[in-house]
Amino acid sequence: MDNRISDYVIVGGGTAGCVLAARLTEDPSVSVTLIEAGPENRGLLVQMPAGLGALYDKGALHWPFKAEAEPYAADKVLPYKMGRVLGGSSAINGLVWARGNPRDFDDWAEAGCTGWSWADIEPIFRRIEDFKDENDPHMGHDGPIPVKRGRAECNVLANAFLAAAAEAGHRINPNHNSGDQDGFCALHQNTRDGRRGDVYEGYLRPVRSRPNLRIHTGQPVLRVLLDGSRAIGVEVGTRTGTVVHRARRDVILAAGAVASPQLLELSGIGDPAVLSRAGVALRHNLPGVGENFHTHPTIALTYRCSKPVSILNATRGAGKIAAGLRWILTRTGPAATNHFEAGAFLRAFPDSDRPDYQITFLPLALGGTTGAVMLHGYQIYIELVGCRSRGYCHVASASVEDQPRFRFNFLQDPRDIEVYKRAVETARTLAAQPALAALTEAELVPGREIQGAAEVEAWIRRCASISHHLVGSCRMGPSGDPMAVVGPDLRVHGLDGLRVVDASIMPRVTSANTHATTIAIAEKAADMIRVAHETSQPRIRA
């Protein structure tokens, strides 16, 4: 038997790829090859919930992407560190579990993506979740991904944040994942017994010994191989040269919102003008590849505390060592949480049909991108979850080693900046409420000297920064949509044997962190692929 031929070749061992590999190999008659460009070794920092900052700084498990200058955001050049390891971004993310808003999925269905409504996707979320509150009727309780409610009451500042929200007249929502998203809340986290609960631990590690699953790490895929209009396999780089892995049925791109469109274009699938500029021969005209690229931009207001009540002491010196040792020995203490205990999903306008922005509260003041400042403080992060601006992601050359060119055009749409102005006003109002004011000495960023609509807008454009919720670059849509890359079955339009299954297929980003939805996309794709497998013959025979 040729071990380089399998039923399915999955490109990318990240969030979606791990789910697909686990689900498809539940059928012992189905063979799967999973190919990951990054390493297998994950280390203690991946398991430690509070290790995410150190993971980001070290960068060993990230793709070091950089966007082009953002013309509507002070020409900033921002880094995007996506996961480059088995488990992908699920292994390095902020551990917030947020399904999004029902309207997000209903929009997809109403745009022609049959089978992707909230009614279709909500049961899939339940299948995924292992929520540690058996009395909550809205969540799943037996799935592979642990979910727990944040414990704001155990942190002085997070507790004060929610109290300030109530004082300001905001609603306190007992469960933002119930289908009723609006309001302030304890955020849900992907942790179990003080450890990260990612897709590798939940899906892939328990099934690695299956004889019908082969996993290759440290091997970048160079291109998809086409025979006419059929994908038949992939060309992979190894230490000794290139090899070909062939698929009897489907090649599945699960490489993420940057690498999946990159691989399509390197394979000659995309807009003819884009491919011509990069020196890639056209194999299949598909102009939507790499378009519709977007994410949630972020800003953060930073405050200095009047009392030593932040988590600063656990992030430096002897306190940091003590927190690490406690976690190693008992899986408890400051290192056993992501510290994103509380947040909110809010609407900026009366005519908004879902939250426009998300707040995440951090009981620590950070300087720059990740460096902790040496004072007690807190930050109010604001993510523009209803963003309307769109960008692109395209290959710069015919080599997989050259990073794609991409940008998001942050704040190009006028409504985006108006949402942010209202969100800043909300954050400042919260800090002025008695519960938080009693613990607050000063606003450090942007500073009380920044007042008035023009000054606030200028600060927002200067300081708008990154979230890692990249989506949209292989947009899902019906066959009549000229800019859709995949159909509702996630098959690439006009080609046989090729699917894309990752966050890149989202027509519009969900109104929350995208981790949960990416897992749900992979679960639904596995369902569809199993049905197709049962009703069709293989395209390539060994």
What are the catalytic residues?
469
Cross-strand pairs, 114: none
- The answer to whether 226 and 267 have CB atoms below 8 angstroms apart is yes
Identify which of 383, 481, 396 has the alpha carbon closest to the alpha carbon of residue 112. Answer: 481
Distances in whole angstroms, Cα of residue 76 to Cα of each of 70, 408, 436, 471, 526: 5, 11, 32, 20, 39
Using CA atoms, how far apart are residues 409 and 421, in angstroms rounded to an integer? 18
CA distance 514 to 533: 28
122 touches 372 (CB < 8 A): no
Q: What is the DSSP string of 23-69?
A: HHTTSTT--EEEEESS-S--HHHHH-GGGHHHHHHH-TTEEEEEPPP
Q: How far is CA 45 from the centre of its chain?
A: 19
Asked if 290 and 265 count as a contact pair (C-beta separation under 8 A), the reply is yes
User: Could you give the 3-state DSSP secondary structure of residue 282?
Assistant: coil
Sign of CA dihedral 58, 20, 146, 256: positive
The Cα–Cα gap between 49 and 97 comes to 13
Retrieve residue 498's tokens: 């090729």
Structural contact between residues 519 and 145, judged by C-beta atoms closer than 8 angstroms: yes
Residues in contact with 322: Cβ distance below 8 Å, sequence separation at least 6, in sequence order: 314
What sign has the CA pseudo-torsion 346, 351, 354, 356?
Answer: negative
**What is the distance between the alpha carbons of residues 207 and 21, in angstroms, rounded to a whole number?**
9
Euclidean distance between CA atoms 269 and 187, whole angstroms: 40
Token pair 């027509």: residue: 507
Strands 377-383 and 391-394: unpaired
**Which backbone phi and psi does 509 adopt, to 5 degrees?**
-60, 145
